[in-house]
């Protein structure tokens, strides 16, 4: 039962839009362009952000609400630079977070969120628009260098009381990568070996947007031990999903787990999920990009008659939206508890995106997100 500490050591414009809004136009759209266009300002902006976005009090709040794990995304450039404009300096904050986790009884999953060349072309990889991870030069080998560095420090037995996993790469978009799933699988096998050269710390691999059964026979016993598949379950990033009613969103939660968790010869976790039934969070689809909900996304045919309105402001939600969101969350908590080995909400907080903001959902008078301590299963999927 975990929560992601997103938008901290890898910037995402929809999580902290204030960092991006200080620049004219839409020139700064990710961490790469911040560092490339404003190399003199970027170090100070990043240092201020790293020092302030997360605190011990946040970890205490997470633990007090029944969570037992934090997943911490970090980019490769925190450890190594490979002909890129990024600013180093984020790596020591992993140590800070591990210290907070020890103080609060939380476990830590270290997640390599951005690989050299970008493994998906999303801003959450550090570089929006390009997908060159398995196509350019030594990018895959360079990624393993970073994993070796992470493992050499955090897979040591002295860290196993708190670091319960190392994730080799977040969301490699196999369908768009040179070499496709073969490239991803080969990298995973190499990265698994890099961690195993140090210890038996669990190795987490994202499913590369493949169905769960694809991973049968990949890094399974007797060739591998302690491998966990990470699936991300969102219902807002296609026209078909965004058109679902709240009731249909819940029904999909209740009936869809077989595609990622059934008959899989691995432990499966849902390493990212949210309360979002819209894509209204500003810059969720990219900085300066509109939403499918309102019909302003790339390729949309025009206004849908729906408005994002107050969706990003939880204090403005009416009772209907509150109850619909509670049911959506409860359904997910039930299914992920019953059908997987764990779940990690995205995200612990945002500047202004309520559907993705655990703290705002917890703090709402109606307790939209429940305290997980002693939580009983609901009847939403019954």
168: its two tokens: 């080799």
Which one, of 305, 308, 224, 229, lies nearest residue 266 by Cα?
Answer: 229
304: its two tokens: 């849908």
Handedness of CA 157, 161, 164, 169 (dihedral sign): negative
For residue 347, whether the previous peptide bond is cis, meaning omega lies within 30 degrees of 0, is yes
Give dist(CA 366, CA 153) in Å, integer. 43
For residue 142, whether the previous peptide bond is cis, meaning omega lies within 30 degrees of 0, is no
SS3 178: coil
Give dist(CA 246, CA 95) in Å, integer. 41
C-alpha angle 189/194/197, rounded to 5°? Answer: 120
Catalytic residues: 171, 272
Give dist(CA 269, CA 109) in Å, integer. 12
Residue 94 phi/psi, 5° resolution?
-60, -45
Rg of the Cα trace of the chain?
20
DSSP 83: S
Task: Give 25: exposed, middle or buried? Use CB within 10 Å, 0-12, 13-18, 19+.
Answer: exposed
Distance from the Cα of residue 81 to its chain's centroid: 22
Give dist(CA 131, CA 133) in Å, integer. 6
């Amino acid at each position: 039962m975990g929560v992601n500490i997103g938008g901290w050591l890898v910037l995402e414009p929809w999580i902290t839009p204030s960092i991006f809004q200080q620049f004219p136009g839409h020139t700064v759209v990710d961490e790469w362009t911040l560092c490339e266009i404003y190399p003199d300002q970027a170090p100070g902006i990043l240092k201020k952000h790293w020092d302030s976005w997360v605190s011990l009090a946040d970890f205490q709040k997470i633990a007090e609400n029944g969570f037992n794990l934090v997943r911490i995304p970090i980019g490769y450039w925190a450890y190594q630079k490979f002909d890129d404009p990024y600013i180093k300096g984020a790596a020591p904050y992993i140590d800070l977070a591990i210290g907070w986790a020890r103080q609060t009884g939380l476990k830590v999953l270290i997640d390599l969120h951005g690989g050299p060349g970008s493994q998906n072309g999303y801003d959450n990889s550090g570089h929006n628009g390009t997908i060159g991870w398995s196509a350019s030069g030594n990018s895959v080998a360079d990624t393993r260098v970073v994993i070796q560095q992470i493992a050499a420090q955090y897979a040591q037995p002295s860290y196993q009381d708190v670091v319960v996993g190392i994730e080799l790469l977040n969301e490699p978009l196999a369908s768009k990568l040179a070499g496709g799933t073969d490239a991803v699988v080969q990298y995973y096998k190499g990265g698994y070996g890099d961690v195993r050269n140090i210890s038996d710390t669990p190795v987490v691999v994202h499913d590369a947007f493949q169905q769960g059964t694809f991973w049968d026979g990949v890094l399974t016993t007797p060739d591998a031990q302690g491998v966990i598949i990470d699936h991300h379950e969102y219902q807002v990033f296609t026209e078909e999903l965004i058109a679902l009613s709240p009731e249909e969103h819940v029904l999909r939660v209740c009936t869809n787990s077989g595609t990622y968790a059934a008959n899989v010869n691995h432990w499966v976790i849902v390493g990212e999920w949210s309360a979002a039934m819209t894509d209204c969070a500003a810059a969720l689809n990219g900085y300066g990009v509109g939403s499918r909900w309102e019909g302003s996304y790339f390729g949309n045919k025009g206004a849908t008659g729906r408005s994002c309105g107050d969706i990003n402001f939880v204090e403005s939600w009416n009772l209907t939206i509150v109850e619909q969101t509670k049911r959506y969350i409860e359904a997910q908590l039930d299914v992920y508890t019953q059908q997987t080995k764990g779940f990690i909400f995205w995200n612990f907080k945002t500047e202004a995106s309520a559907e993705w903001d655990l703290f705002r959902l917890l703090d709402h008078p109606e307790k939209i997100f429940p305290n997980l301590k002693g939580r009983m299963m609901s009847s939403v999927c019954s």
